[in-house]
Amino acid sequence: MSEIDVGRRGFIQSAAWMGVALMAGECLGGRLKVAAPSGAPMQGCALKPMKKVRVACIGVGSRGTSALRRLSQVPGTVVTAVADLFQDRIDKELAWLKKNGKPAPVLTVAGPEGYKRICESDAVDVVYNVTPWHMHAPIALYAMEHGKVALNEVPGALTIDECWQLVETSERTRMPCMMLENCCYGEEEMLMLNMVKQGVFGDIVHGEAGYIHDQRALQYGSRYHSLAGDPDAGKAGRPGWALDFYSKHSGNWYPTHGLGPVATYMDINRGDNFDFLVSLDSKQANYHHYGREMYADWRKDFKVRMGDMNLSLIKTKLGRSILLEHDVSSPRPYSRLNLISGTKGMAMSYPELKVAFEEKTGDGKAHAYRDAEATEAIRRKYRHPFWQVAGEIAKKAGGHGGMDYIMDLRWSYCLQNGLPLDTDVYDLAAWSAMVELTERSVDSNSRPVDCPDFTRGAWRTAKGFTIDVIDPAKLPEGFQDIKRDKHVDETARQEGLI
């Protein structure tokens, strides 16, 4: 059906893994909870419990600064290493850690390849990668090769080839590789996940996901350096690194904030899978219009290739549909859409939580959204157990309404207690592959493009998606002792929401 075949590597790799498994003798027992041969699938893979999780923060720009400050407040977690291109950014974080009575990192390295020394260090268990997009896969690959858990900011990789490299390296090294998709941990996303799992919406048929965020001022702002070597980078009106990408590419370059949660509702990689997509871009007007109007010395030869709006339609193997939108330049309110609909009803969370569902088939109760009072009651009834335990603390810690803290608390808790992480390298790959797949479809006049099956068929039997509640008794002291950091609030204000 599709014009473009991107799935063959899966078959070849699948055969390769079976060969390895059949010949297996080699067991990489070291850090694994249950020994498994190199190359085995990573679903459910857990490491032995870590008493203290030692984290390296790579990239302490805007997002990395909040990450470092958040992580240093997660019980049982310590920042032992920091890297950035710029020494002054590292120094600022060292001063913050000192001022806040946190242990000093044992290793800090400035420069583009400093991450290598950090990945090679024995003082690190987890490499927390908050660099610009093009460095996500290279750093994660190097981290896993050196026996580190690799956690990547979004998107986890930029190309399908990078996605496969991450899958293969994670399987070979037995090191978990997860994308830090904080939106999967949002209060309303987890509420909706809980409702989906309890069958409130019936058999799920359709989802809508998006990233609609007016970033014109942000992307022309002064805090981003340029990858294109613009000597005036950093001056207002000059494009930073994301606009460098937008000037060369089409499609959806930030697909996962909306798609991640919808994929968890639909058990993508765990009972269902993406099948194919079609994608189209609108024309580009907003970045040019804004640049011209706002900055006297705006470079008139600067052209953004990516359309203002990218629209994609994804079909899943079980026949479900997903609408995926991306628009980071139109003057309009923020939205991730976050809509799910099934045989009994639907929910969506933008501009606010709205729910409509039947209690008995045909009772007509799904014809109108529940009123404010009923919606509040639904919020209370279906609040995810994790948010019941940790929600108030997370809100105090800050970070997009607390979801960033919930995410960090959860993966660190999993590592401290020898549990598999909630999402794995296959989720990272399937969600991030949308970057290249949407661009391929846009550039071929919206022809259908096959989505690779990074699980090589294991999606058929893998257990459905859940986020389990944590037991605070299984964390070291300090769970209640959270301080809010000014930078986290400041970033949230600058960024609108995310």
Ligand X SMILES: NC(=O)c1ccc[n+]([C@@H]2O[C@H](COP(=O)([O-])OP(=O)(O)OC[C@H]3O[C@@H](n4cnc5c(N)ncnc54)[C@H](O)[C@@H]3O)[C@@H](O)[C@H]2O)c1
- Helix pair 187-197, 385-397: axis angle to 10 deg: 180
Question: Cβ closer to ligand X: 39 or 401?
Answer: 401
Q: Is 196 exposed, middle or buried (0-12, 13-18, 19+ CB in 10 A)?
A: buried
Residue 296 CA to residue 35 CA, distance in Å, equals: 62
Q: Beta strand 77-84 with 107-110: parallel, antiparallel or unpaired?
A: parallel
Q: Least distance in Å: CB of 495 to ligand X?
A: 6
Q: Least distance in Å: CB of 474 to ligand X?
A: 26
Could you tell me which residues come within 8 angstroms of residue 487 by beta carbon, excluding any fewer than 6 positions away? 65, 66, 69
| 42 sits in which H/E element | none
Question: Cβ closer to ligand X: 80 or 131?
Answer: 131
Question: Cβ closer to ligand X: 137 or 154?
Answer: 154
Question: Cβ closer to ligand X: 151 or 449?
Answer: 151
| 4 beta partners | 449
Ramachandran bin of 326, using left for φ above 0, alpha for ψ from -120 to 50, beta for the remaining angles: beta
Q: Least distance in Å: CB of 355 to ligand X?
A: 25
Q: Least distance in Å: CB of 359 to ligand X?
A: 36
Q: Least distance in Å: CB of 157 to ligand X?
A: 11
Q: Least distance in Å: CB of 82 to ligand X?
A: 9
Q: Rounded to 5 degrees, what are φ and ψ at 392?
A: -65, -40
Cis-peptide, bond into residue 261, ω within 30° of zero: no
Q: Smallest Cα–Cα separation from 177: which of 231, 233, 237, 128? A: 128
Could you tell me which residues come within 8 angstroms of residue 481 by beta carbon, excluding any fewer than 6 positions away? none
CA 76 from chain center: how many Å?
23
Q: Least distance in Å: CB of 371 to ligand X?
A: 32
Q: Least distance in Å: CB of 334 to ligand X?
A: 12
| 109 beta partners | 83
Q: Rounded to 5 degrees, what are φ and ψ at 160?
A: -65, -35
Sheet of 177-179, strands arranged across: 107-110, 77-84, 53-58, 126-129, 149-152, 177-179
Residue 421 CA to residue 426 CA, distance in Å, equals: 12
Q: Least distance in Å: CB of 182 to ligand X?
A: 5
Question: Cβ closer to ligand X: 48 or 223?
Answer: 223
| 326 sits in which H/E element | strand 321-327
Question: Cβ closer to ligand X: 45 or 154?
Answer: 154
Question: Cβ closer to ligand X: 36 or 135?
Answer: 135
Question: Cβ closer to ligand X: 36 or 127?
Answer: 127
Q: Rounded to 5 degrees, what are φ and ψ at 376?
A: -60, -40
Q: Least distance in Å: CB of 126 to ligand X?
A: 16
User: If you ran DSSP here, which 8-state letter would residue 70 be given?
Assistant: H
Question: Cβ closer to ligand X: 119 or 449?
Answer: 119
Residue nearest to ligand X (CB): 61
Q: Least distance in Å: CB of 92 to ligand X?
A: 10
By CB under 6 A, name the binding residues for ligand X: 58-64, 83-86, 89, 112, 114-115, 130-133, 135, 153-154, 182, 223-224, 498
Could you tell me which residues come within 8 angstroms of residue 176 by beta carbon, excluding any fewer than 6 positions away? 42, 45, 47, 149, 150, 170, 420, 421, 424, 425
Q: Least distance in Å: CB of 384 to ligand X?
A: 19
Residue 214 CA to residue 216 CA, distance in Å, equals: 6
Question: Cβ closer to ligand X: 87 or 321?
Answer: 87
* SS3 assignment, position 100: coil
Q: Which residue's structure tokens are 């242990």?
A: 103
Residue 457 CA to residue 429 CA, distance in Å, equals: 14
Question: Cβ closer to ligand X: 358 or 495?
Answer: 495
Question: Cβ closer to ligand X: 54 or 213?
Answer: 213
Q: Least distance in Å: CB of 279 to ligand X?
A: 20
Residue 314 CA to residue 324 CA, distance in Å, equals: 8
- Evaluated on CA atoms 29, 34, 37, 38, the torsion sign reads negative
Question: Cβ closer to ligand X: 59 or 255?
Answer: 59
Q: Beta strand 53-58 with 310-316: parallel, antiparallel or unpaired?
A: unpaired
